Structure formats: C-alpha cells, structure tokens
Structure 1
Amino acid sequence: MGNLLEPPATSALARFADDTPRFILTVDTEEAFDWDKPLTRDRHDLNHVPNIARFQEFCENQGVVPIYLVDWPIANSPDAAAILREAVATGRAEVGVQLHPWVNPPFDEDVSQANSFAGNLPPALEEAKFSALVDVVERNFGTQPLIYRAGRYGIGAETAAMLARRGVAIDSSVRPMFDYSHLGGPDFRSFPTAPYWADAERSVLELPLTAAWWGMLRRQGNWLYPRLWRAPALRGVLARLGLLERVPLTPEGVSVEEAIRGIDIALDDGLPVLVFSFHSPSLMPGNTPYVRSEDDLDALYDWWRRIFAYLAHRGVQPSSVRDVMEAVVR
C-alpha cells in the first residue's frame, strides 16, 4: 500500500500579492547511482560535482538563481561547498535540502523500496535524518535552508510539521499527476498544481513541481492516463495524435516544444509559480538516462537557454525562495 496523503482543501490555496507569474529552477543535487539497480547505502559517486560550477556560471549569465536541493553526500562534499558557498552568500544561488533516507544517517531502518520514501519512516526517524542533514548544510554552506524536497517525492503526513519546527518555509515534494503508490510512495493524482499551505498555521508553503496535461483529452488526464500504465506505447500514440500528453517541466525526457506547451497551459490555468526541476548527475554524461554523451549535455544547456528565452517572452520572472516568500499572502 502506498503512502496515503490527503489533498489540501480549496481554502488552503495560496494567494500572491501581485499578478506577476514567476518560475523557480530546482536542482535535485545528489549522488550519482544506477537508477536501474536496487538502492544501497554505498554504491554511488560524486564525480559530477565539479560540473555544477559550469551550470552555476550559466545560470548567473542568464539572470537565474538556481536552488540546489542537496542531500547527505553532497552536503558533506568539500567540492560542492567550495563551488556554491560564495554564490549562496551573495544571493546568486540558494541551497535547500533533499532527503535520501538510504544514504542519510541515522541508519536505523532497512534499505528497501518502501523505506526510500522518507514519509514512510517512523516520524522520529524521518526527523532525525532531516535534522542531521539540515545541521550539515548550515555548517558547510553557511546558510539556513528554507526549502525542502523529499527524495523520490516521498513526503509523509508528518513532514510539514517537521519542516515548521526547523523554520523551513517551503516544501516542494508534491508531484501532481504522478502516482508512486505501486512503489510504496504517495499518489499525487488528486493534488493541485497551484501552491498551497501545507499546514493549518500557514508556516509551510507547498510549491508542487509543475506538470500539465496537454491535448484534446487533457481534462480527462487524471482518470485516463493511469489506466494506460500497462500500455506505454498507447500513451505515445495519444501524444502523437495530440489527444493526451503529460508534460512535466524538466529537460529530462521532455523536449523544448513539449515544455513550451506545458508552460502555456500552466499560464493559461493561472498558475502563479512554475517549478522546474532536474537531477544534478545529468550535468555529466553517463550518469542518467537523459544525458549519455557530450552532445546530450550540450542539448540540456540549449534546452534551458531556449526555455529561459521563452519564459522571458511570456513575462514569467525568474524567482527564488526568498522572493516567493515575500510575495505570498499569509
């Protein structure tokens, strides 16, 4: 059984002080490991970390403040701290946290599929791992992290309260239109794409990762798409026919043209904040299925370059955690 989470009430939807559409760029900044093999505590590497410097420089030249959601191996990497600490101190980058429980102490649980979703752990263990990670980030990067993402989007029922206790203002673990319950994780199909307050006190703002249904059947997407999971080829046919396509805002497996359609739909639906994401191992060829060669890496940078240009064309402003928190109405 998956992690049973309840979608928010309509009254929890967040309002912003202005009508300016914004976007944030989040980087799941993590160790490289083989996604096709079982998870382990030790079979990973950080060889791609030096490549983060090039991406940071690229973002600065584009006028974008990337948000690096660092997990335990990255948080303890001297190279990562050397690359990002000054940029964070001067506001050219932000650092948040991402919890991969299988590599984050204390190690009081078995490594398993279900336990890879932090929200499935006993709340005390989830919080112990999270607190250890926050402490390391504050020490090594010289900043208090204000944004969190559960690895594998594994948020739990107690996560928002945990974040509030450490002063983390934003969660970005919810991935609408995706269902991980067959793996033991959350089912987000009934969750909104719009920002909402994750707790009754309005101390933690949820910024869901942005995705959009595109096509003539988009209004039936949440119902129809899951029923085609045994027939992925049929999903492809529907996309090619312009009937139904799920478009997450990421360069990993999504073309520029598809992403632009997703941006247009999100803006047409009045979404105030677009949340982009990708994984830092994709900054080095061979680490992920999406970047296998130098040509693929060039294509990833070109994807961002073209998407930033299109966002500027549509009047969508680059934002940051601090900007979002200043703009939201409590």
Structure 2
Amino acid sequence: MSATQLAIVIHAEEEFDWDGGFFRSKVKVSHADNLIHVMDRIIELGGKITLAMDYPFITSDDGKKVVDYYRHQHGVNVEFATHLHPWVNPPFENEHDSVDNHLSYPGNLSYEYEFEKIKVLTETIERISGFRPKTYLAGRYGIGANTQNILKSLGYEVDLSISAYCDFRHQQGPDFSHYSNQKFVDSEITYLPHTSSILSVIPPIRNYLNRHPEKFTWIQNNKWRHLVGKIMRVKRYRLSPEGFTAHQMKQVTQAQLRVGQRDFIMSFHSPSTKSGLTPYTHTDQDVAYFLSTIENYLRCFTQEYQGKTVLPSMLSASSSL
C-alpha cells in the first residue's frame, strides 16, 4: 500500500473584502508576523508547507519578510510556489480599478494575458526568493483551456488548481465536479487536487458518491433528489481549517481513506492567520481556534493515520523518474 501523504498549501495573498468585488488597488499585506507564527508551529509539528504566493504578497515588505525568514528552508520544509490573482497581477488590460467576476478566473483570460501574468509572477518570485517556482495554483482554482500549455512553457511541473468535486460554473468559473482527489499526470504536469469529500450518515452512499463524484452534482441539480440528499445528510466538506473543525477534517480524511485515497491537500489563506481579514477569523480567539484546529489535525494525520507531510514538488512526475 502506498504511503498516506499530506501537502499543506497556503494561499499567500493580499488582504481584501471577500464580498466586495475585485480591485487592482486592494493590495495591502500586513500579516507577516502572524503567518510566520502559524508556519513555525506547523513545522514544529513536522509539517512541510507550500507557500503559493501572488503578486501583491511577494512584492510587499511583509511578503519579502516571510520569504527571507524561510529562504534557508526552501526545498526542505517550505516550497515557494505561484498563486495567480489576475486582478492585481500585471500586465493589465486597461486602466480600470475594478475587474468583473468573469476575469477574476485566470483561465477565462486570453492566452496572451494569462501567459504574461504567469510569466511576470514567476520571474518576480524567482528574482525575490532566488528560486524559480515549479508548482502553480490558480487564483479561485481558475485553470482554463490554455493553462497547461502555459505552465509547460514556463517550466512548471505541478498544478494544484483542481478543487475536487466542485462546480464553479454558477459564478463563471471552472467545473471540477467530475474530478476526484486522485493525483494524475497529463502532458508531463502532475495534478494534485485540493481535497474535498462527500459525507453521509449512510456509509454505502458516502462511499459510492466519493467513487462517483459526478453523482453528487446529479443530486444537487434537482430539488427532489436534493431533498433526498438532505435526508441522508449528504454534504461536501473541504480539508481546511477555514470553516471546518478538526473533527470534520478527520471525517473527510477517513472517508477518502476508505475509497483508497492516499494523497491529500490541507489548505488555507494566509490572511486568516490575523484577525479581521477573512470571514474565518474575526477575532483573536478565532485565530487561536484556527491554529488549534491545524495542530489537532496534524497530530491526527501523522499519529492516527501514520501519514507524512510532503511538498508537492516531491510528487511530480519528474521527481519520481
């Protein structure tokens, strides 16, 4: 049996109003010390961290502080990766401050603009950190028809942009409802989806839906089937301390282990490490609970599930050759 492995992915980004739209001018980053505190605790517990950085983060004083702090650990406990928020990443198509929802997904951009934005961000991370990133995470999980070719041309090996079992078409995003959490390789790019799981009080239903995720969408898209799903308490949970308890994260892991899953991603957004910046941590007490959730889950993963934490670059097709 293959090893049970966990990648810890931090979406390192600017601080903005999650419900207030997308603006080029919203680029503040003020949470370096808070993020370092959380990352240090994860590393103390044996964790390895992928820091997927967007343009405002890597070019800010606070972002550079985080990079400088962990530079000597790159490739060991920390991996510097790329996270594209197109609305704050040059080059820009026009002079407008606001960006509509459609263009907040990188995969909806033209080939030229998606390529140039990823290229600029890649070269900026390399210049500031000293390391050329090999792992990519699209903002809003927004990969599109051109993304794979762009990533290959820029030397990327791993893509973390798939969000298993999720369908973002209602907000002009991609449809991942047919994707499981299974790692796969396509055109020399290794895809490691962000982990979700479908849970139910009826174990055979839970196992069936996790093996056939498209059926979950089938249930959700009809009011009568949806009602039956509610009776069976069919829900989709994400492996994240944002909005989920350590117990729920364990349920996600257990459900996936039962269907043979061995590669997992736990993720969160860097501003959640400081109170008042995301919907998940309004107060200092929320931040403390957020960190304790991470600590409890990591202990469970390494001790109860006998898993280990890895950097996604370690899982790429080229690293296994």
TM-score, scaled relative to structure 2? 0.89
Q: Which residue of 2 aligns with 1:50?
A: 33
2:243 to 239, 253, 267: 253
- Once the two structures are superposed, what CA deviation does each residue of 1:220-256 show, in whole Å capped at 9, x if it has no partner? 423213446xx9xx79x93xx6631111100111111
Asked if the contact 1:30–1:73 (Cα under 8 Å) also holds between the matched residues in 2, the reply is: yes
**1:301 partnered with 2:301:** no
Q: Bigger shift: 43-52 or 155-164? A: 43-52
Equivalent residue number for residue 315 of structure 1: 306
Corresponding position of 1:180: 168
Contact kept, 8 Å, 1:72 with 1:99, in 2: the verdict is yes
**2:25 is paired with a residue of what secondary structure?**
coil
Find 1:265's aligned residue among 221, 241, 255: 255
SS in 2 for 1:192: coil
Unmatched segments (≥5 aa) in structure 1: 1-17
Structure 1 residue 208, shift from structure 2 partner: 0.5
Separation of aligned partners in 2, 1:327 and 1:108: 35
Instruction: Tell me how far 1:327 sits from its aligned partner.
Output: 9.0
Which amino acid counterpart does residue 300 of structure 1 have in structure 2? F
The superposition leaves residues 92-151 of structure 1 with CA deviations (integer Å, 9 ceiling, x where unpaired) of 311100000000000015621100111111111100000000010001111111111110
Partners of 1:30 and 1:244 in 2: how far apart? 32
Q: Share of identical aligned residues, percent?
A: 26
Aligned counterpart for 1:290 among listed residues 248, 258, 280: 280
Q: Specify the code of the residue in structure 2 equivalent to 1:268.
A: R
1:70-219 matches, cutoff 5 A: 70-90=53-73, 91-108=76-93, 111-199=99-187, 203-215=188-200, 216=202, 217-218=205-206, 219=209
Cα deviation 1:34-91 (Å, max 9, x = unaligned)? 0111211003421223312112211221111111100000110233223223524332
Give the equivalent residue in structure 2 for 1:32.
15
4+ runs deviating over 6 angstroms:
none
Secondary structure at 1:274's aligned position in 2?
strand
Structure 1 residue matching 2:65: 3-state secondary structure = helix
1:325 to 293, 316, 320: 316
TM-score computed with the length of structure 1 as normaliser = 0.86
Counterparts of 1:261 and 1:78, CA distance in 2: 39
Q: Confirm or deny: 8 A CA contact 1:146 1:321 kept in the other structure.
A: no
**2-structure distance, mates of 1:198, 1:121:** 22
Cα distance between partner residues in 1 of 2:104 and 2:21? 11
Instruction: Find the aligned partners of 1:242 and 1:85 in 2 and give their Cα distance.
Output: 50
Q: Deviations over 1:302-330 (max 9, x none)?
A: 10111011101111111112322379756
CA distance in 2, matches of 1:103, 1:250: 25
